[in-house]
Amino acid sequence: MKAYREKLHLSQHDLADKVGVRRETIVRLEKGQYNPSLKLAVDIARVFDTPVEDVFVFQKDSGEELKGEHL
């Protein structure tokens, strides 16, 4: 996600403003410490003008729930 953000010359604050979250949320996403909601993942992908699957990888964990992880 960070690479997409930097490619568009966006700061973490800029991206946060565009998707309606706090900068700390973007920091945590980039560090892999937070799994976004589907809405947030789609909103971020739209800012980057790329499919959500290119920004986030969704994997099944041991509890069989889908887990989004940043690239």
**Rounded alpha-carbon distances, angstroms, from residue 25 to 29, 37, 51, 57, 60:** 6, 11, 20, 18, 22
Assign residue 37 the CATH number of its domain. 1.10.260.40
Q: What is the pLDDT of residues 13-33, one digit of tens each?
A: 999 999 999 999 999 999 989
C-alpha triplet 51, 53, 56: angle, nearest 5°? 115
Which residues form the domain of 42? Answer: 2-70
Tell me how far apart the alpha carbons of residues 68 and 45 are, in angstroms, rounded to a whole number.
13
Spell out the residues 6+ positions from residue 60 whose beta carbon is closer than 8 angstroms to its own. 66, 67
Domains of the chain: total: 1
Q: For the segment 27-65, what is each residue's pLDDT rounded down to a tens digit?
A: 999 998 989 999 999 999 999 999 999 998 876 665 544
